[in-house]
């Protein structure tokens, strides 16, 4: 607690300032919940839906490409599959990629390829590679060594070991990581518009910039609904594939005992 107090003092985190700033929210709320303004702002729903669709496409493309590139890198970064001369430089490369948040990657790619969703897709790809690879190689390193040693003892190749042992053992983790990254990337893509990287965030930041809070609220409501739907779909997929898979592994382990 003492460390929290000291750190709060160093960053000027004063609860009094927060409490005094709460009444300022009433200004925004009063501008949003005006009958005439709401009716006028509803005209922007089709634009918000199309912008959200663009955001979903950006997140989907970025997640898929990032996972496809990241999966082989996770194999190279796993300590139980490679020597330190292989996994050490691979991890160093991934650490460099993770150093930059997605919004900085987006800014870099905006400079490279110009404004628009393409820069956002490239940013999401890099962010996904950095994090899904770390999650995956850590799950690979938790695989029980006994089946790996048993398969290796019969002289199989590294590719066969990965195909018949590593991938099946880590499949449920990988599916969960993909769902998590897509969910996160949808949220993250929603703010990449701040630097001109396309998506619904471009509209939100511009409406806020010009104090048009009612229009911004419509777009943020679309984001909220989309995120809730994605969350619900993710739960269903996890229940069907991941939970059942883990339940099946528990049954097998009980039978073996």
Whole-number average pLDDT of the chain: 81
Instruction: Give CB contacts under 8 A, 24+ apart, made by 88-91.
Output: 91/137
Size of the chain, expressed as the number of residues it contains: 257
CB 198 within 8 A of CB 120: yes
- Give 3: exposed, middle or buried? Use CB within 10 Å, 0-12, 13-18, 19+: exposed
For 65-82, b/e burial (b = at least 16 CB within 10 A) is bbbeebbebbbbbbeebb
Least confident of 160-164, 182-186, 210-214, 235-239: 160-164
- Domains contained in the chain, CATH given: 36-256 (1.10.3720.10)
Other CB atoms within 10 A of residue 231 CB: 12
Instruction: Answer yes or no: is pLDDT of 249 > 60.
Output: no
Question: What pLDDT score does 26 carry?
Answer: 73
SS3 59: helix
Instruction: Answer yes or no: is pLDDT of 250 > 90.
Output: no
Q: Looking up tokens 């679309």, which residue turns up?
A: 222
Least confident of 126-130, 133-137, 245-249: 245-249
Q: Looking up tokens 């979903």, which residue turns up?
A: 56
CB 68 within 8 A of CB 131: no
Least confident of 36-50, 101-115, 237-251: 237-251
Instruction: Answer yes or no: is pLDDT of 51 > 80.
Output: yes
Instruction: Answer yes or no: is pLDDT of 251 > 60.
Output: no
List, for residues 151-204, the tens digit of each pLDDT value: 777 777 777 777 777 777 777 778 888 888 898 888 888 778 778 777 888 888
Where is mean pLDDT largest: 49-53, 146-150, 190-194?
Answer: 49-53
Distance CA 127, CA 109 (A): 12
Question: What confidence tier does 35 reach under pLDDT thresholds 50, 70, 90?
Answer: low
Of 166 and 72, more confident: 72
């Amino acid at each position: 607690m003492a460390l929290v107090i000291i750190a709060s003092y160093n960053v000027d985190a004063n609860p009094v300032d927060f409490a005094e700033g709460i009444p300022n929210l009433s200004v925004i709320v009063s501008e949003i919940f005006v009958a005439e303004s709401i009716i006028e702002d509803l005209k922007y729903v089709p634009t918000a839906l199309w912008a959200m669709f663009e955001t979903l496409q950006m997140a989907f493309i970025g997640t898929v490409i990032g996972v496809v590139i990241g999966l082989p890198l996770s194999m190279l970064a796993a300590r139980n599959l490679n020597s330190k001369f292989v996994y050490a430089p691979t991890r160093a490369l991934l650490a460099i990629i993770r150093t930059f948040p997605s919004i900085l990657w987006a800014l870099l790619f905006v400079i490279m390829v110009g404004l628009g969703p393409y820069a956002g897709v490239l940013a999401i790809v890099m962010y996904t590679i950095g994090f899904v690879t770390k999650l995956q190689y850590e799950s690979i390193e938790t695989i029980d060594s006994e089946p790996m040693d048993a398969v290796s003892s019969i002289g199989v190749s590294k590719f066969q070991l990965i195909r018949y042992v590593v991938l099946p053992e880590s499949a449920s983790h990988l599916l969960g990581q993909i769902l998590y990254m897509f969910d996160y990337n949808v949220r993250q893509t929603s703010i990449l518009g701040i630097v001109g990287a396309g998506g619904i965030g471009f509209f939100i930041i511009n409406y806020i910039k010009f104090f048009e809070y009612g229009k911004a609220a419509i777009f943020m409501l679309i984001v909220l609904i989309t995120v809730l739907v994605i969350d619900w779909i993710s739960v269903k997929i996890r229940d069907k594939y991941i939970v059942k898979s883990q339940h099946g592994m528990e049954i097998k382990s009980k039978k073996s005992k």
